[in-house]
Chains A and B, each alone.
Chain A
Amino acid sequence: MSMFDGLKYRRVFSPIHNLDPRVKFTYACIIFIVAILFWEFIPLLVLFVIQVPFVILARVRREWLRSMKGAAFLASVIFTVNFAVSFINSGYMITFVALEYALAMTFRFLVLVESFSIFFLTTSPDHLGLALEQTRVPYEFCFAFTTAVRFVPVLAEEAQTIMDAQKARGLELEKGNFLRRIRNYIPILIPLIVSAIRRSLELAEAMESRAWGVSKKRTNLYELKLHGSDYVLLTVTVVLLVAAIYVRLYLPVPRLAEIFDYFAH
Chain B
Amino acid sequence: MVKYATMPVIETRNLTYTYPEAAKASIVDVSIRIEKGEFVLITGPSGCGKTTLCRCFNGLIPHFYHGTLEGEITVAGLNVKEHPTYEMAKYVGLVFQNPENQLFALSVEKDVAFGLENLGVPRDEIRSRVDWAMKITGIYELRERAPYELSGGQQQRVAIASVLAMKPDVIVLDEPTSFLDPLGAKKIFEVIHRLNRELGITIVLVEHRLDLTVKYADHIIIMQDGKVILEGDPHKILDSEDMRLIGVGIPKVTRLYQLLKADGVKFHGKVPLSPEEMAEKVRRILKTHD
> Which residues of A pack against B, CB within 8 Å?
124-126, 129, 143, 146-147, 149-150, 153-154, 199, 202-215, 217-223
Contact = CB atoms under 8 A, between A and B. Distances in A.
A204 B90 CA distance: 17
A211 B106 contact: no
Given A149-B106, A219-B117, A210 B89 contact: yes
Given A211-B90, A214-B86, A221-B130, A206 B101 contact: yes
Which 5 pairs between the two chains have the least Cβ-Cβ distance? Answer: A206-B102, A210-B115, A202-B101, A211-B89, A214-B86
Contacts of B146: 150
Nearest to A125: B106
Contact of B89 (A143, A146, A150, A209): A209
A104 B153 CA distance: 54
A202 B65 CA distance: 12
Given A143-B104, A203-B101, A206-B96, A215 B119 contact: yes
Nearest to A205: B60
B163 interface: yes
Contacts of A147: 104
A221 B101 contact: no
Given A211-B115, A219-B120, A219-B123, 12 more contacts: A146-B106, A150-B147, A202-B102, A208-B60, A208-B64, A211-B86, A212-B86, A213-B86, A214-B86, A215-B119, A221-B113, A221-B130
B123 A214 contact: no
A209 B118 contact: no
A202 B122 CA distance: 28
A220 B106 contact: no
B85 to A, nearest CB: 4
Interface in B109-153: 109-110, 113-123, 126-127, 130, 146-148
A202 to B, nearest CB: 4
Nearest to A198: B101
Contacts of B163: 209-210
Contacts of A220: 117, 123
27 contacts: A124-B106, A125-B106, A126-B105, A126-B106, A129-B106, A143-B104, A150-B106, A150-B146, A150-B147, A154-B100, A202-B96, A203-B101, A205-B64, A206-B101, A206-B102, A208-B64, A208-B86, A209-B89, A209-B94, A210-B89, A210-B114, A214-B120, A219-B123, A220-B123, A221-B113, A221-B127, A222-B110
Nearest to B113: A221
Contacts of A214: 86-87, 89, 118-120
Contacts of A124: 106
A215 to B, nearest CB: 4
Interface size classification for chain B: 35 or more
Contacts, number: 106
B102 A203 contact: yes
B3 to A, nearest CB: 27
A154 B147 CA distance: 10
Contacts of A199: 101
Interface of B: 55, 58, 60, 63-64, 85-87, 89-90, 93-94, 96, 98, 100-107, 109-110, 113-123, 126-127, 130, 146-148, 162-163, 166
Contact of B105 (A146, A153, A154, A204): A146
A202 B60 CA distance: 11
A124 B109 CA distance: 15
Contact of B110 (A154, A213, A221, A223): A221
Contacts of A146: 104-106
A211 B119 contact: yes
Nearest to B109: A221
A125 B162 CA distance: 21
B156 to A, nearest CB: 12
Contacts of A205: 55, 60, 64, 96
A204 B104 CA distance: 10
Contacts of B117: 218-221
Contacts of B119: 211, 214-215
A194 to B, nearest CB: 14
Contact of A210 (B63, B87, B110, B118): B118
A222 B144 CA distance: 13
Nearest to A220: B117
B148 A154 contact: yes
A222 B89 CA distance: 23
Given A124-B106, A149-B106, A207-B104, A219 B147 contact: no
Contacts of B110: 126, 221-222
Contacts of A223: 123
A204 B96 CA distance: 12
A149 to B, nearest CB: 6
A150 B64 contact: no
